[in-house]
């Protein structure tokens, strides 16, 4: 029975999982005595499970012979079509919004962007739980598919370290038409990683409960942290949750899982298991988390002479902690803001540190993690290439060492990383142009664009001089941003790979 289910189209399996998940907020709403929302999710889950069974029976005989193409298309469908199903109970439960708003909310949650159109008090507890749960499932989806689907195709950041992608100086995506049974890989890695993902979420939930958060806030923040979605039923950690700084410290430790995949699994592209100390992604992430807060902290004496704050240890610690937590949060594209972030801004004297937060969001987290952005591995490849070029300026006849893998990253890895950066920049320009045509200013269009492309939805609320609100966007702007979230989550190279003629020849 299980084998037959696994042989169904990937999108059909995702539909079944999404429909089954609707019973969770239904039970919560029933316990919370919210009978209308409970009925909506109960009926929605039952209806869509029946629809999934019918779709599975109709498509069981038409299994694709090209599983790589099938799963890439399924991923695209998961972020564009599946939110239509997920939005139905949200729309019916809220009752006073448009279906476009509900669809935008589900795309934002599933892509782990965390951009929201609604104030926290407007949604019931079950709807908040549904948003967090959809974001959590979206994080696990990208976590598994990154290793099971994108890695064999040299996509999603794996093209930087894959030696096969560097023949003749071009990325060939040579494995696109010759991949081992991707369905078996998905099943294997899902079974392998789900206990880790769910276990970490459970541990973080318990720790936040012990720190003083309510049950709903604790589970929402736990799921949002592991999925790096930044979804919160109270508007974020800075909004006065019961756990306070202790809760932030607990979340801070779990955010490191989005810096490097070596925190939870064996590197599938390398031989053996490298230590975190030798992992370039972890080193760059740790460097940014240490240096940037220290720079903001030291600026109090270097340039912010007009700031009138008490120079005591308490204010200093609050400023340093607020900067450290917020830097790591935006580097992992989570978007949680520390309750001490205002103190950090006042201490440093920066009127608007939005450029720093946008830069961190663009850099993003590690390859094969739930974080979005450009990814630290691509940044590392460009850094190594630049370092080698400067070395050659001083010593033109020198020979670069450090092994075959390091030479590949400096040359072909840097080349494909630079191509990705150019595609990312072009995407930013095009989306900004589209948003500008809807009437947004240059600054607003830039912040909204980077928030969506880097899957860091809360960035819009803190990056600009004035707080930006997604609810102020028109229908066209919301559709543009929804498409941008999908592009940022799936990445441009994966979509370009779907246009490769070799992918459609079999």
Place of tokens 């959809």: 134
d(CA 425, CA 183): 34
Place of tokens 């498509």: 59
**More confident site: 165 or 198:** 198
| Segment 215-257, tens digit of pLDDT | 999 999 999 999 999 999 999 887 767 888 999 999 999 999 9
Whether the CA torsion 80, 86, 91, 97 is positive or negative: it is negative
Task: Report the mean per-residue pLDDT for the chain.
Answer: 86
d(CA 123, CA 501): 46
Q: Cα 334 to chain center, whole Å?
A: 7
d(CA 111, CA 231): 12
The answer to whether residue 43 is domain-embedded is no
Checking if the pLDDT of 8 tops 70, the result is yes
d(CA 133, CA 22): 9
Checking if the pLDDT of 30 tops 80, the result is yes
Least confident of 64-73, 325-334, 467-476: 64-73
Which pLDDT score, from 0 to 100, does residue 64 have?
Answer: 63
Burial annotation 98-121 (CB, 10 A radius, 16+ → b, else e): eeebbbbbbbbbbbbbbbbbbeee
Nearest Cα to 104, choosing from 388, 477, 446?
477
Which pLDDT score, from 0 to 100, does residue 173 have?
Answer: 36
Checking if the pLDDT of 372 tops 80, the result is yes
Compute the residue count for the chain: 506
Element at 71 (helix H, strand E): helix 67-80
Q: Cα 373 to chain center, whole Å?
A: 7
338 phi, psi to nearest 5 deg: -70, 150
pLDDT confidence tier of residue 288, bands split at 50, 70 and 90: very high
> How many CA atoms within 13 Å lie on the side-chain side of 153?
29
Contact 440, 477 (CB under 8 A): yes
Contact 483, 107 (CB under 8 A): no
d(CA 394, CA 202): 53
d(CA 119, CA 139): 23
Which pLDDT score, from 0 to 100, does residue 207 have?
Answer: 96
The answer to whether residue 447 is domain-embedded is yes
Which pLDDT score, from 0 to 100, does residue 136 have?
Answer: 97
> How many CA atoms within 13 Å lie on the side-chain side of 374?
27
Angle between helices 10-21 and 67-80 (to 10 degrees): 30
Q: How many domains in the chain?
A: 1
d(CA 477, CA 497): 27
The answer to whether residue 258 is domain-embedded is no
Instruction: Output the CA angle 58-60-61, nearest 5 degrees.
Output: 95
Helices (H), 256-340: 280-302, 313-331
d(CA 502, CA 506): 8
d(CA 501, CA 326): 43
Q: Which two tokens stand for residue 102?
A: 């509900």
Q: Cα 93 to chain center, whole Å?
A: 26
From the DSSP assignment, how many helices (H) and strands (E) are in the chain? 21, 0
CA dihedral of residues 450, 455, 456, 458 (deg, nearest 10): 100
Which pLDDT score, from 0 to 100, does residue 378 have?
Answer: 92
pLDDT confidence tier of residue 153, bands split at 50, 70 and 90: confident
The answer to whether residue 467 is domain-embedded is yes
C-alpha Rg value of the chain to the nearest Å: 23
Q: Which two tokens stand for residue 107?
A: 């795309």
Range of the domain at 393: 276-473
The answer to whether residue 293 is domain-embedded is yes
The answer to whether residue 107 is domain-embedded is no
Place of tokens 């990445």: 491
Q: Cα 258 to chain center, whole Å?
A: 9
pLDDT confidence tier of residue 204, bands split at 50, 70 and 90: very high
The answer to whether residue 412 is domain-embedded is yes
């Amino acid at each position: 029975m299980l084998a037959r289910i696994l042989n169904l189209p990937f999108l059909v399996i995702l539909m079944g999982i999404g429909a089954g998940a609707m019973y969770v907020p239904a039970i919560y709403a029933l316990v919370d005595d919210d009978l209308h929302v409970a009925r909506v999710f109960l009926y929605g889950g039952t209806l869509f499970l029946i629809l999934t069974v019918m779709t599975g029976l109709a498509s069981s005989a038409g299994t694709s012979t090209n599983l790589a193409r099938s799963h890439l298309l399924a991923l695209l469908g998961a972020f564009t079509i599946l939110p239509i199903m997920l939005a139905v109970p949200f729309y019916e439960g809220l009752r006073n919004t448009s279906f476009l708003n509900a669809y935008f909310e589900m795309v934002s949650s599933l892509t782990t962007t965390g951009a929201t159109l609604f104030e926290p008090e407007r949604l019931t507890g079950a709807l908040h739980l549904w948003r967090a749960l959809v974001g959590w499932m979206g994080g696990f989806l990208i976590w598994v598919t990154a290793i099971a689907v994108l890695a064999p195709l040299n996509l999603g950041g794996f093209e930087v370290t894959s030696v096969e992608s560097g023949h003749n100086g071009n990325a060939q995506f040579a494995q696109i038409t010759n991949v081992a049974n991707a369905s078996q890989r998905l099943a294997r890695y899902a079974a392998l990683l789900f206990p880790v993902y769910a276990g970490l979420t459970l541990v973080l939930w318990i720790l936040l409960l012990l720190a003083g958060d309510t049950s709903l806030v604790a589970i929402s923040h736990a799921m949002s942290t592991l999925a790096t979605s930044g979804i919160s039923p109270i508007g974020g950690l800075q909004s006065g949750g019961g756990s306070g700084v202790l809760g932030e410290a607990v979340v801070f430790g779990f955010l490191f899982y989005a810096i490097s995949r070596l925190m939870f699994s064996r590197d599938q592209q390398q031989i053996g298991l490298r230590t975190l100390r030798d992992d370039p992604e972890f080193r760059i992430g740790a460097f940014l988390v240490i240096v940037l807060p220290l720079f903001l902290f030291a600026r109090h004496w270097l340039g912010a002479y007009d700031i009138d704050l008490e120079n005591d240890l308490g204010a200093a610690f609050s400023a340093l902690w607020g900067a450290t937590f917020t830097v790591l949060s935006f580097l992992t594209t989570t978007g949680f803001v520390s309750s001490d972030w205002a103190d950090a801004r006042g201490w440093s004297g920066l009127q608007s540190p939005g450029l720093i937060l946008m830069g961190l969001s663009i850099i993003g987290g590690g390859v094969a993690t739930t974080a979005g952005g450009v990814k630290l591995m691509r940044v590392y490849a460009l850094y190594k290439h630049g370092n080698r070029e400067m070395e050659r300026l001083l010593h033109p006849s020198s020979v670069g060492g450090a092994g075959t893998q390091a030479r590949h990253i400096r040359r072909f890895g840097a080349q494909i990383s630079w191509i990705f950066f150019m595609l990312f920049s072009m995407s930013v320009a095009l989306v900004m142009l589209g948003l500008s045509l809807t009437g947004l200013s240059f600054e607003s269009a830039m912040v909204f664009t980077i928030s969506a492309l880097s899957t860091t939805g809360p960035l819009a609320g803190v990056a600009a001089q004035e707080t930006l609100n997604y609810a102020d966007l028109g229908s066209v702007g919301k559709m543009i941003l929804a498409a941008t979230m999908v592009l940022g989550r799936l990445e441009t190279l994966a979509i370009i790979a779907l246009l490769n003629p070799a992918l459609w020849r079999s």
